[in-house]
Structure 1
Amino acid sequence: MSTSPETSSRRVRRQILSWLPDGPRTWLRRFYERVSAPADRAQATFTDCGATVVLQIAGGPSITLLPQARGDIERQFRDPEAAAELSRFMSYTADPGVLFDVGANYGLFALVYCLANRQSRAVAFEPSPRLAATIRQLADLNGVADRLRVVDKAVAEAIGVRELLLDLRGGYVQSAAFAGTTSGSWHTATLPLTTLDHEVAVVRPTIVKIDIEGYEHEALLGADMLLADVRPMIFLELHLNYLQARQIAPSDVVALLTRHRYRLEDLRGRRRSVRGIARSWASVLHLTATPLES
């Protein structure tokens, strides 16, 4: 696969950053997080209750967790941009609807969505057998098992199976062993695939959240009908470094949205262009994509 000028340029910028000493590099990263993430960030408290943990989100629902889910979910609130993304997401949960939680992990977004309105439903897409099983347990613990359906498949551009990396210790799934994520517990596993276009034949979502560690290009390639006809609001976590490692230009990913007349914004509500996204120095961008009227 040839390397695009866009990914080559990004690789040069990342190389420049790697030459900086740890102190300045850490300062730059934290400075970027402070200036890029809105001040409005989801906050929460965690209370140990023996066999379970109670998560109370400020201004949001109370969620009963299992201990194995606590670490990952706590990180959602510690990371400034992730907490800001959840806060913005929560502002769309009052009205009833259907959420597609693509890359659900432990299903935090799906649980928040179902608990915010008793008429809302969610579909959690999680190919990890371990994580999918835990989501089902959490749905039952929180009384939303009848409204939260778990699909044990990865979302891709076509239905089938594919060899992906499965972390036997944590249960996580990735398309490749990216820098900083290598572990002795990664093993190749053949996992089933579905597409968003296939799933909309079952239920049509009003919101789609996508966080799949550099696999977002494939997910959107399999979403032509969803983007053209269903036109949900989309929360997209764009993993620029992982896309670069896979030699996929970020502009090719977001162009799949703008081609279908979606407006891209960052978490501060600022309009983001395809070119601006492609030139970003960030490792990850949290974007919202809103369908424009025809």
Structure 2
Amino acid sequence: MATVDRFLPAYSSSEDACPICKSSRYLNPNMKLLVPPCFHKMCEACIDRIFSLGPAPCPVCQQILRKTNFWTQKFEDLQVERELQIRKRIAKFFNKRTEDFKSLRLYNDYLEEVEELTFNLINGVDVQETEERIQRFAQENRDLIASNAARQQREERMLNHRLKQERSDKEHQRQLYLQQLEEEEVVKRTQKNAIINQLASSNQSASEIVARNAITLKKSSMAPSAARATPSSSGPTGDWMYNGAHLDDDEDMDIDSEEFDPLSSLYCDVGGFELKPEYYDPMASAIQNPQMATAGGYLTRFSHQRSLEAAFTGLLIPPLSDSIPSPPS
């Protein structure tokens, strides 16, 4: 037996074994430990044996327990599990909100009182007095507690409905995006097959046929992409939800045959100045470690160039004739 125990992992009897039958989860992997309100864990076999006929005292602390009050442990540390249950119980009664108080100071005092009661129950300080304070508060604020609980349930239902609607909208947009991708692939294959047939049956050169069909192929690929880029407005969140479309493919770029107008774009080149190698810059000279500041590829001339571009933006562009204000009469 000593040889077998030498290969068994070490375990704590209070955490990994039933305190009643002393069975260990390492010796019996299928054993499941459950936690009662007194936080003395027991295995399912002992729970069925002790509490099958009704309420019975805990074999460790003699607190009256019921079989239905046992739950599966969520956290590895039993102290954390105990604190979680205590905070849930406290929050069930102390559910006042900021609008229930006349001032922020009264609300902060209320929160401090709640934390004091929670601390007392967690650490076993004046438990009887603390329980009386909780019961007295629950009796005095019974109507307000019920009203806030009902309002919290309504808010949770609204939140769950909104999250469900968002998931539904995202799934709908995903299916629409996949369908548009499939339709785009079909259109591309059809047009490419048409070009191949023209190359095989026409007497024109291949460059002329490809050039004539290039613009048509590009614009046809842009139509589904534009539809994917348009936000969906079918649901309540369609006006701000991101539809998951990415237009980072070179094939999605349209061919603009019109002449470029610098006034129609916010990203036109700015000229009219000459960037010098050095400038008097107190901010740059105040850097303690210039090598660390430029380690990521940053150079001080970048900020100088941005400042000059901001100063010269629109400075050399003549005003429009119809925008010149008339002199006062």
Same fold (TM over 0.5): no
Larger C-alpha radius of gyration, 1 or 2?
2
Q: TM-score, normalised by structure 1?
A: 0.16
Q: TM-score, normalised by structure 2?
A: 0.15
Structure with the higher fraction of residues in helix conformation: 2
